[in-house]
Amino acid sequence: KFFPEMPNAAQITIAQLLNHTSGLADYVNENLEWIVSPHTKVELLEKISKASPHFEPGAKQVYSNGNYLILRYILEKITGKTYPVALKSRILDKIGLKNTIAGTVNSSQPLEARSYKQMTGWNPVTDIYFPDVVGVGDILSTPQDLLTFIQALMSGKMTSAESLSKMKSFEGPQTLAMGLLRMPFYSKTVIGHNGGTFGTYSGMYAVPEDGLSFTLCINGLNYNMNDILIAMLSSYYNQPYKIPVVTVVDLKPEDLDDLLGNYTSKDLPLKIAVTKSAAVLVVQATGQPSFPLDAVTKDEFKNEGLGAVLKFDREKHEMTLIQHGKNFHYVIEK
Q: What is the DSSP letter of 112?
A: P
What are residue 107's phi and psi, to 5 degrees? 60, 25
What's the pLDDT score for residue 258? 94
Helix axes 41-49, 65-79, angle to 10 degrees: 130
Alpha carbon separation from 310 to 162, 259, 317 (Å, rounded): 47, 11, 13
What's the pLDDT score for residue 210? 97
> Do residues 141 and 147 lie in contact, with contact meaning Cβ atoms separated by under 8 Å?
no
Quote the CA–CA distance of 134 and 187 in Å, as a whole number: 36
What's the pLDDT score for residue 4? 95
pLDDT in single tens digits along all 334 residues of the chain: 899 999 999 999 999 999 999 999 999 987 778 899 999 999 999 999 999 999 999 999 999 999 999 999 999 999 999 999 999 999 999 999 999 999 999 888 888 888 988 777 788 888 999 999 999 999 999 999 999 999 999 999 999 999 999 999 998 889 999 999 999 999 999 999 999 888 889 999 999 999 999 999 999 887 888 889 999 999 999 999 988 777 788 899 999 999 999 999 998 888 999 999 889 999 998 877 788 899 999 999 998 878 899 999 999 999 999 988 899 999 999 8
Query: What residues contact residue 304 under an 8 Å CB cut-off, 6+ apart?
Result: 222, 223, 224, 227, 246, 294
What are residue 279's phi and psi, to 5 degrees? -105, 20
Spell out the domains of the chain, with CATH numbers in brackets.
1-80 (no CATH), 103-244 (3.40.710.10), 253-332 (2.40.128)
Cα 329 from chain centroid (whole Å): 25
Alpha carbon separation from 67 to 6, 71, 149 (Å, rounded): 11, 6, 22
What are residue 68's phi and psi, to 5 degrees? -70, -35
> Do residues 76 and 90 lie in contact, with contact meaning Cβ atoms separated by under 8 Å?
no
What's the pLDDT score for residue 123? 84
SS3 318: strand
Quote the CA–CA distance of 134 and 131 in Å, as a whole number: 5
Strand spans (E) along the chain: 116-118, 122-124, 181-185, 188-195, 201-207, 212-218, 261-264, 272-277, 280-285, 291-295, 300-303, 308-313, 318-323, 326-332
What's the pLDDT score for residue 206? 98
Nearest to 198 by CA among 246, 144, 137, 147: 137
